[in-house]
Amino acid sequence: MSRQDSDRVAGVPAMTRAQRVESVDHVSSAAIAKRKVPASARIAAQMRGLVVAVVACASLVGCASSTDVVASSKPGSYTVAASATGGRMAWARAHQLAMSEARDYCERRGMQSSVTMETVSGVSVMTEHGSSVNFECHPKF
C-alpha cells in the first residue's frame, strides 16, 4: 500500500502536508478566537500594566524632602537641608528644594535670602543626594 493510499482512510480524500498544517492552524486559531477571557482577567492585566508604568515613572522622577528651617548659632542665620533620590539628577532636585525653602522662609518675613554656604552629598546614581544650605535673611531694598 502506498503513502497516498494510507491517507485515504474510510473515503477521506488525500491531503498534502501543507493542507494538513493549514487545517490544524485554522482549527487552533478558531479555538483561540472562541475562548473568551473573563473581564476580571482583562482588568487585572490592565492594572498590572498600569502599576508597572507608575513604578517605572516614579523610579525615574524620584522623590525629594526637606527639613524645617532651623536657626543656627549665629543670629539671623538659618539652615535648611533637603534630600532626593532617583537618578543622576537627584542632586539638582535636592539643591532646588533647599534653595526654595530658604527663599520662601525669608519671603514670608518680607525679606530676601542670601546663601552663605551650601554643602552637597551623594554623587552616585540611585543613592540619596543631599543639599544643606546656610542662609541669612536681609531686608529688601
Q: Is residue 2 one of the residues assigned to a domain?
A: no
pTM of the entire structure?
A: 0.54
The reply to whether 121 falls in a domain is yes
Q: Identify the residue with better confidence: 36 or 121.
A: 121
The total domain count for the chain is 2
Are 69 and 112 members of one domain?
A: yes
Q: What share of the chain is helix, strand, coil (3-state, %, to 5)?
A: 45, 25, 30
Whether the per-residue pLDDT at 3 is higher than 60: the answer is no
State residue 17 phi and psi, 5-degree precision: -60, -40
pLDDT at 135: 95
Same domain? 119 vs 70: yes
Is the model's pLDDT at 55 over the cut of 80? no
Same domain, 53 and 68: no
Which of 8, 34, 61 is the C-terminal boundary of a domain? 61
Between residues 112 and 52, which one has the greater pLDDT? Answer: 112
Q: Could you tell me the residue range of the domain that residue 42 belongs to?
A: 16-61
Same domain, 72 and 85: yes
**pLDDT of the residue at 136:** 94
